[in-house]
């Protein structure tokens, strides 16, 4: 896991997989609704269903592989899912100010005076 995919690459992969799943399912439904009685057309439809269902399974497997990649990336700390927004930054800055004020008060002996 040396090189991690970028967010844009992950979004593109997700979109491609979703498109593939939907397209394959549509193709299966379109093939299944054709009504014909000839053996030749039935054989062709059966082959098309086999191809489309195999492609559908591959797309689902790729989504599972993608979720595994996302989990690994998240667990090893290279996926930033918690990004700070304005309120988080403001709250963090206020906390840092409070910590500095408390630290200064303790150092000056204003709050906690050692017992003699």
Q: Does 90 share its domain with 63?
A: no
60 and 5 inside one domain: yes
- Residue 114 has a pLDDT of 56
Query: Cα 85 to the chain's mean position, in Å?
Result: 20
- Residue 113, domain extent: 82-116
Number of domains in the chain: 2
Same domain, 64 and 89: no
Q: Say what the pLDDT of residue 92 is.
A: 83
Q: Which residue has the tokens 């093939």?
A: 31
φ and ψ at 8, to 5 degrees?
Answer: -65, -40
Mean pLDDT for 77-91 is 67
pLDDT digits over 20-64, tens only?
Answer: 999 999 998 988 777 877 888 888 888 999 999 999 999 999 999
pLDDT value of position 31: 84
């Amino acid at each position: 896991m040396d090189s991690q995919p970028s967010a844009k690459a992950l979004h593109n992969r997700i979109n491609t997989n979703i498109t593939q799943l939907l397209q394959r399912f549509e193709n299966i439904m379109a093939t299944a609704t054709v009504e014909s009685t000839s053996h030749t057309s039935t054989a062709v439809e059966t082959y098309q269903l086999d191809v489309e269902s195999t492609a559908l399974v591959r797309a689902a497997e790729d989504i599972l592989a993608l979720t595994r990649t996302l989990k690994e990336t998240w667990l090893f700390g290279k996926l930033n899912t918690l990004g700070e927004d304005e309120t988080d930054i403001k709250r963090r800055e206020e906390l840092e100010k409070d910590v500095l004020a408390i630290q200064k008060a303790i150092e000056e002996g204003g709050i906690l005076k050692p017992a003699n």
